[in-house]
Amino acid sequence: MDNSSFASGRPTWAEIDLSALAHNYRLIRKHVGGDVKILAAVKANAYGHGAVECAHRLESEGCDWFGVALPEEGIELRSDGITRPILCLGGFWSGQESALLQHGLTPVVYRLDMIEALDRQAHAANAIADVHVKIDTGMGRLGVRAGEVREFCDAVTRFKNIRIDGLMTHLAAADDESKEQFTNDQLSKFDEAVAIFRERGFRPTFIHAANSAATFAKRRTTDNLVRPGGSLYGFVGDVFPANIDAPQLRPVMSLHTRVALLKKVPRGEKLGYGCTFETQRDSLIATLPIGYDDGYRRALSNKSRVIVREQFAPVVGRVSMDLTLIDVTDIDGVSLDDEVVLLGHDGESFITAEVLGELAGTISYEITCGFSGRVPRLYKE
C-alpha cells in the first residue's frame, strides 16, 4: 500500500479482502449443495469487517439471506440497497413493528407478546408478517423452551396476520467434539419441536440450526438453511471441532500500521506504563500509532508480536490507548514508515485472529469485532 493513501491521516488501517470473502462463501455453497439456503451472518458490522460492503459482495455471489442482530442493522442494509431477505436474529423491541414491515425485515420471535404486537401492526397495515420462531433447546438465551412448545403453538394460532415461515434453534457447543452428545440432544429436542408445529398445522418454509461449526460437522437432511458466521470471514482454529477436516478458508481481514518512531534504548531501561518490560540488551524500539482504543487489545501487552519486513517483532511493554511499542533490534534495515502487519500475512509470516484471541484470552470473533471505528476499512476486490 502506498503511504500517500494516508497523506492527511494516521497510517493505521484494516484491509478487507472481498475476494477472500467470496471464496469462503463459494466453499460453503459447494459443501451444502444447491438445495440448502445460506444465511450469511453480517451482524455486528459483519464481525467488524463492514456489513454493507460484505453484504453487497455476498449478494452478488447469490447469498440467499442475511442475518443481523437488530432491526437497526437490517435497516442500514436496506438503506444501502440490499434486497435479499434479512432475518433479525435477536428479535425486535416494542415500537419497532412498523419498521419491520416497512423495510421487509423478518424477525425471530420467542414471546407471545412480541407476536401479538407484530400481528396488530400487520393487521393495521393489511399485511402478513413472516416470522421465524426460535426454540431454546439448551443455549439458554432466547427461545421458546422446548418443553413449552405445545402450549406456544396452541396460543399462537389466534394471530391471523402472522405467518410462521421458519423454525430455528442455536447450538451451544457444535465446535466442541467432547460435547457431541449435548449437541445431539439439542437437535433431538429441535426435531421434536418441529414435529409439534407441523402436527398443529404450521408449514414453515425454513428449518435451521447450523452455525459455522455445525454446517460442516452436522449435516442434516431435515434442515434447509444454514447460518455461517465466522467461517465466512476465514476463522478456522476456534470455529470447527478438532475431529473434522476444516475447510480451506481464507482470512478476510488484515490490520496494518507503520513505524512512527525509532529509538535506540540501552540495556536495563524500562518501557511503557507500569514499567512491565525491561530491555535485556541494547535495543532498537519502534513506536506504532495504534493502541487499545483501536481494538489492539491491552491484553496483548508483552505477549503478541507483529510482522516487519516479513519478520516477527515482539510487542514490548503495555499496549496503551493510542500507541504500541515493538522491539525491532533483529529486523535488518528497519526504517521509519515501514509497514507493520499486526494481523495477516507478510511473505511467509502470518498472524491470525485466532492466535491474537488466544493470547488475549478470548476468541477470533471478539478480536475482529473489537477493531474500532477509528480504524478505516479499505476494501479490496
* Interval 326-340: pLDDT, tens: 999 999 999 999 999
CATH of the domain at 78: 3.20.20.10
Domain shared by 209 and 324, yes or no: no
Cβ-based burial of 195 (10 A; exposed 0-12, middle 13-18, buried ≥19): exposed
Share of the chain above pLDDT 90, in %: 97
Q: What single-letter DSSP state applies at residue 85?
A: -
Rounded to 5°, the CA angle 216-205-122 comes to 130
Q: What CATH number does the domain containing 258 carry?
A: 2.40.37.10
Q: Has residue 44 been placed in a domain?
A: yes
Shared-domain flag, residues 68 and 178: yes
Q: Which residue reads 503478541 in cell numbers?
A: 304
Backbone Cα Rg of the chain:
24
In this structure, are 264 and 298 located in the same domain? yes
Residue 108 lies in a domain: yes
What's the pLDDT at 7? 55
User: Do 107 and 221 share a domain, yes or no?
Assistant: yes
Other C-beta atoms closer than 10 Å to the C-beta of 56 total: 17
Give yes or no: residues 201 and 266 share one domain. no
Give the pLDDT of residue 176: 95
Domain count for the chain, please give it: 2
Together in a domain, 257 and 326:
yes
Judge if 224 and 265 occupy the same domain: no
Who contacts 232 (Cβ-Cβ below 8 Å, separation ≥6)?
A: 21, 24, 25, 28, 40, 41, 54, 58, 212, 252
Q: Quote helix, strand, coil % in the chain, to nearest 5.
A: 35, 25, 40
Q: Flag whether 27 is in a domain.
A: no
| Amino acid, res. 50 | G
Residues 129 and 52 in one domain: yes
**What letter would DSSP give residue 348?**
T
Same domain, 181 and 258: no
**Domain, as residue range, for 78:** 36-233
Query: Which of 182, 201, 233 finishes a domain?
Result: 233
Instruction: Let me know if residue 312 belongs to a domain.
Output: yes
pTM of the model: 0.95
Task: Assess if residue 218 is contained within a domain.
Answer: yes
Tell me if 65 is assigned to some domain: yes
pLDDT at 219: 85
Same domain, 73 and 135: yes
Do the beta carbons of residue 379 and residue 51 sit within 8 Å? Answer: no
pLDDT along the chain (381 residues), means of 10: 59 98 98 97 98 98 98 98 98 98 98 98 98 98 97 96 98 96 98 98 98 94 97 96 93 98 98 98 98 98 98 98 98 98 97 98 98 97 92
Output the pLDDT for position 2: 45
Last residue of a domain, one of 233, 261, 279: 233
- For residue 340, the model assigns a pLDDT of 98
* Packing angle of the helix pair 149-156, 112-124 (nearest 10 deg): 20
Same-domain check for residues 257 and 229: no
Cell of 92: 425486535
Active-site residue set: 43, 273
* 203 and 311 both lie in a single domain: no
Which DSSP state fits 232?
A: G
248 assigned to some structural domain? no
Point out the domain boundary residue: 233, 262, 290.
233
Return the pLDDT at 6. 52
Q: Tell me whether residue 240 is in a domain.
A: no
